[in-house]
Chain A
Amino acid sequence: MSAANLRLDLPDMPEAAAQLRLDVRAFIDEERKAGRLPPPERVGLGFSQEMTKRIAARGWIGLTWPKKYGGQERSALERYVVTEELLAAAVPVGAHWVADRQSGPVLLKFGTEEQRQEYLPRIVAGECGFCIGMSEPESGSDLASLKSRAQKVDGGWKINGRKIWTTNAHRVHYMIALVRTSVVEGARHAGISQLIIDLQAPGVTISPIISMAGEHDFNEVLLEDVFVPDKALIGQEGNGWNQVSAELAYERSGPERWLSSFRLIAELIDVLGPDARPSSQEELGRLLSHLLALRQLSMSVASMIQQGQTPNLEAAIVKDLGTKFEQEAVRVVRNIVSAENLTAHGRADRLKALLIHAQQYSPAFTIRGGTNEILRGIIAKGIGLR
């Protein structure tokens, strides 16, 4: 490995992306004017089925998918533009986020024609959402050790097991569950499959888990003799591990990995003026340099994906850097708020609320979607150390 190999080409945005960006901004303006998008007091993805419907009405869900499923066949870079504009403005996109980012693409890549026909048009219309059923109580980073099992029965599968930390399971319609369908001695990554579970099905029990930020976002999902038909199997039986690995690449390099704290920085900048002390300006400048670097990295990786490459190393780096940046941003904003005495005596109440929430939320940044230690393991492999 030499450092020269660790280099990203600068991307070219398609012409149409500029207009699309303006369209998204115009939409956001309208939403603000209509009072449907108040300045946020929390970080994280908000959840609003109504907002998802309005975004769907613009055609911005499933933007890259084939037209026959309701998509627009536009490029990954254009999708990038839409997502970063929505996230930067703190538009609540949680209701379609997982379906648009990964469930839909997984169905396009591995699903049957019947599955695509059934789910994709509804995702595009903002009518159905998905959640990710990977983690289990005993299987976090070591996902391949998972124990939930699907047993072959007449006409389908019978599932038993327990999924945990399942974000939005209580609000969306389907879960793509990763389960063991066979045991292959000495090959722990084999025998794992992906099944679509209707969360209304008998035998599914969803219990809330309250986060330290006081929110009900994730859940425990108990699966007791849950029957799913044969057509619920995604891709090949036993190939789930490879399918999930492909899915994780979509998950890692997107702007959501460095925009979680953005609204906090925006709020700070709103309050801060040119009279801020030099040390505050230096800290802020340092933070902004990381923000700009991440944005360039993220766009470059999106462009590689667009060109059909699989930039796994680079994507892992973007997530490692991005999530660390999100935490660092909270720390820097806190320091500046404190040094400049910005929120004392009832000044800047919104900044104060946002900062409290961001601090409570920030430990999750470097855990969800795979911990940074696991990511660095992937990076170490990529640079030839493992």
Chain B
Amino acid sequence: MNRGLGNYSDAIALPKLIKLGPNLIGAAFSLMKLVPARYILHKATETGQLEAGGKIVETTSGTFGLALAIESALHGWDLTLVSDPVIDAQFASRLAGMGARLDIVTEPAPGGGYQQPRIDRVEELLKEYPEAFCPQQYTNPDNPRSYAVVAEHLVDSLGAVDTLIGPVGSGGSMSGTARFLRQVNSDMLAVGVDTHHSVIFGQPDGPRALRGLGNSLMPANVDHSTFDEVHWISNGHAAHATRGLHRSHAAFMGPTSGAAYFVAAWHARAHPDRLHVVMLPDEGHRYHATVYDDEWFAANAEAPPDEPRTVGSPLEGLRDWCRFEWNRRPSPAELTAVGAAQ
């Protein structure tokens, strides 16, 4: 990544490295999703898939959309983000303020949820505008690959990392960063942080309050063989941990950061001889009305226990703070089969 003077995105794309303990470093991103957005869009301009002033279409109501909006504002691309009514007004106005178009899907799928209707709407738009470029963060292998610059930054500053902890949503950040860090330490442990009722690590789909990590569809960009260990954290515990991170380290981050930090701090205490790095994907500004609101906090947050419950199957981990030794399994298929049979 350009180390010289650059635009807003150039200046904030790499994480700040924060000492959170004697053997724990936080990789604090202003907006982690700038990393894949920049790489994917840059490559698309190189290969001619995206021209000056060209159209970009993507489904997202999250931070990837914000990153695409920032890049589009800076490079003059015409961005349409397909989202749903759940998108909050402040976030929508921030996107619109940079010239992004919001295409809101209003009809949920018959079984509930907007993910499939949003994907269908993107298909429609791509039929209408066949020249439009779709970054496809969930399946595009350039999402994980883009994290080489993060691994570079970490290795440049810290040398070999012993344990990497981070939230898993599309899987890009953890699968990619771990893959590149393992080039200089193949024994590095990768610890994924997910939330209950996310299908990523073999739990049945269901309502999830903690957003940004977890998924109700399996993203192709999760490379399951990356992970040595998986933790499931609830929204209440994540909120409590996020406030704790702010209180004790003054790091104002979002709830997926809080969840990852909580797991990382436990790991770092348990393994004082290992250097831990935790991915902190976004800042707290979007969460003033939730995690950082006292009333919301009193009603939703919950102090987590000191120790996780270690479970023998993802299906035993549907509540509480749970930990499962994933052992670099290539997929959750056999686990859920075994779990279902029990």
- A-B interaction: no
> Which residues of B does A touch, CB under 8 Å?
none
